[in-house]
Structure 1
Amino acid sequence: MTYGLYLYGIFPAPGPKTLDLEGLDQQPVQTQVIDQFAILYSAAQQERYLASRRNLLGHEKVLEQAMHAGYRTLLPLQFGLTIETWETVSNQLLEPYHQSLEHLFEKLSGQREVSVKLFWDSAAELQTLMAEDAALRSQRDFFESLRSDRADGKSLRMDEIVRIGQAIEKAMSDRKQTIIQAFRETLAPLAAESVENDVLTEQMIYNAAYLIDWDAESEFSQHIEALDHQFEGRLKIRYNDFTAPYNFAHLNS
């Protein structure tokens, strides 16, 4: 039993013709051309696809394999999109957004999306901060001594406690922003566009995507390596040198 068609992405017509790809539920991937657009799809075997790791990776794999095969200009569709008829696609997407789709194809032609995620060890960074900032270390140590030993009759007012905490927090924020700014200033000039997304974990300090020329990835990765060397020992960098351009394929009505 099938549940209509599962859609992966849109290419300029004629789109992929000779691909031998396996989509979700081991279904063969096919191409449907409507007007100036070619849509990659497979038969849907489920009424609703759960956003499991396996399904998400399967969706992305189809798009990435098509792009690696030479069909580089792609508008990826959101995961889990199924339809019953092609008329739905024409009426709800291709016709009302025809001009926007053409503009996106122009923007994405010859481009690829890469992503950079930065992680640090906040405890280790705080320890380094204290080692480098004698004045701040002295305030912190004085506060800690009073917390552990009240016999000397000394006490800190609440505003002093808050002030010390705020000073440490600001110093940590400044260190974080120095790192982030170094990446921005180095990488942004190499990209046509960039998007900064929300950080996903407490240890993640930067999460960005860049739209770069397809053949400029080698130069881009060299700058990533140079930044890694610049902040050696302080960061873990997760760099994805190729993905479907989800961050740069937003339709405007």
Structure 2
Amino acid sequence: MTTDAQRGQGAAAVPTEGTRGFYVYGILRSSGAVPGDLASVGDEETPVRTASHGDLAAAISEVHLNRPLGTRDDLLAHEHVLDAIAAETTVLPIRFGAVVNSVDAVVDELLAPNAESFEAVLSQLDGTIQFAVRGRYLDSAHIREIVAEDPAIRELRESLRGVSPDAGYDARLKLGEMVSNAVTEKRALDLQQLVDAVSGSVVATSERSVGGEDDAFDVAMLVERERREEFEASVDALGDQWSGRVQLRLVGPLAPYDFLPEE
């Protein structure tokens, strides 16, 4: 299913009266803690707090409505609050820009009518935390490997040395296609090696597309919270193994954007 939190239903309507409203970041359990001193959306002096309904709570902050939301600083504050909460407890992110009139509206229009679906998703995510692992090939190491490993690519590449662009046009197209296919395969193999290396602590993965020619992979990983140190150590060990070949970047902890249920 697509969760109400994912769509922002019940919290996306901007208040039409008054100069202040309440910005909603995400849903957590009422027993969960919101870290102090978080810079809030729109007004860094307004504290982030919770509004509770039974076992559920919404992370909120009061916000001025004298300007439209949507600046880069607003977006960064939204993400920072959610990621900081995720580092401590399970949180279900609400889409950016969700504002309601009052604390009562947070409870009556968001938490109460959606309690069952929120509880179901939080239960699925309990005990986990999201990280992203991004890999980048160094100095075109993957291309050198492909040329060394594939005789057909190597021979075609050598045959084009000194051939004019016009005369070798078709052959170069073929070479480009062969190399592109080989890069796709190598990325898949390297991603699988990463997945295998962290399998003991990861419960789910979500691959993202990569665009740069030197990008190896970009993958979101849902990690068992209690095995976070084991996960980080496994990524570090693989980074050492790939030293000079693939540069790994570990990002997180993050709110579990990539693992919200969908229809």
TM-score bracket, normalised by the shorter chain, equals 0.7 to 0.9
Match of 1:193 in 2: 204
Q: Deviations over 1:26-70 (max 9, x none)?
A: 112222113432111111124432141x323322332344455x4
Structure 2 unaligned regions, length at least 5: 1-17
Task: Give the distance between the partners of 1:44 and 1:209, measured in 2 at CA.
Answer: 31
Task: Give the distance between the partners of 2:169 and 2:247, measured in 1 at CA.
Answer: 39
Which letter does structure 2 place at the counterpart of 1:139?
A: L
Match of 1:114 in 2: 131
Question: Is the counterpart of residue 4 in structure 1 residue 21 in structure 2?
Answer: yes
Please list, as runs of the form range in 1=range in 2, the aligned pairs for 1:128-167 lying within 5 A after superposition: 128-133=145-150, 135-147=152-164, 158=170, 160-167=171-178
Which letter does structure 1 place at the counterpart of 2:123?
A: E
- Report which of the two structures shows the higher radius of gyration computed on alpha carbons: 1
* 8 Å CA contact 2:28, 2:56 repeated in 1: yes
Equivalent pairs counted in the alignment come to 243
Residue 59 of structure 1: which of 54, 78, 89 is its match?
78
Deviation at 1:145, TM superposition (A): 1.9
* 8 Å CA contact 1:119, 1:235 repeated in 2: yes
Question: Is the counterpart of residue 105 in structure 1 residue 122 in structure 2?
Answer: yes
Residue 219 of structure 2: which of 203, 208, 230 is its match?
208
Structure 1 unaligned regions, length at least 5: none
Task: Give the distance between the partners of 1:162 and 1:198, measured in 2 at CA.
Answer: 24
Residue 59 of structure 2: which of 40, 52, 59 is its match?
40
Q: Deviations over 1:84-133 (max 9, x none)?
A: 24565456543443222111221222221111111124744323433454
Task: Give the distance between the partners of 2:142 and 2:27, measured in 1 at CA.
Answer: 45
Match of 1:50 in 2: 70
Task: Give the distance between the partners of 2:109 and 2:211, measured in 1 at CA.
Answer: 33
Task: Give the distance between the partners of 2:40 and 2:192, measured in 1 at CA.
Answer: 40
Task: Give the distance between the partners of 1:168 and 1:251, measured in 2 at CA.
Answer: 35
Task: Give the distance between the partners of 1:39 and 1:229, measured in 2 at CA.
Answer: 41
Between the two proteins, what is the percent identity of the paired residues? 26
Task: Give the distance between the partners of 1:18 and 1:123, measured in 2 at CA.
Answer: 42
Task: Give the distance between the partners of 1:127 and 1:18, measured in 2 at CA.
Answer: 47
Runs of 4 or more, structure 1, over 6 Å off, are none
Task: Give the distance between the partners of 1:92 and 1:195, measured in 2 at CA.
Answer: 32
**Higher normalized helix content (fraction of residues):** 1
Question: Helix, strand or coil: the match of 2:194?
Answer: helix
Question: Helix, strand or coil: the match of 1:147?
Answer: coil
Match of 1:248 in 2: 259
TM-score, length of structure 1 as denominator length: 0.80
Task: Give the distance between the partners of 1:145 and 1:57, measured in 2 at CA.
Answer: 51
* 8 Å CA contact 2:207, 2:219 repeated in 1: yes
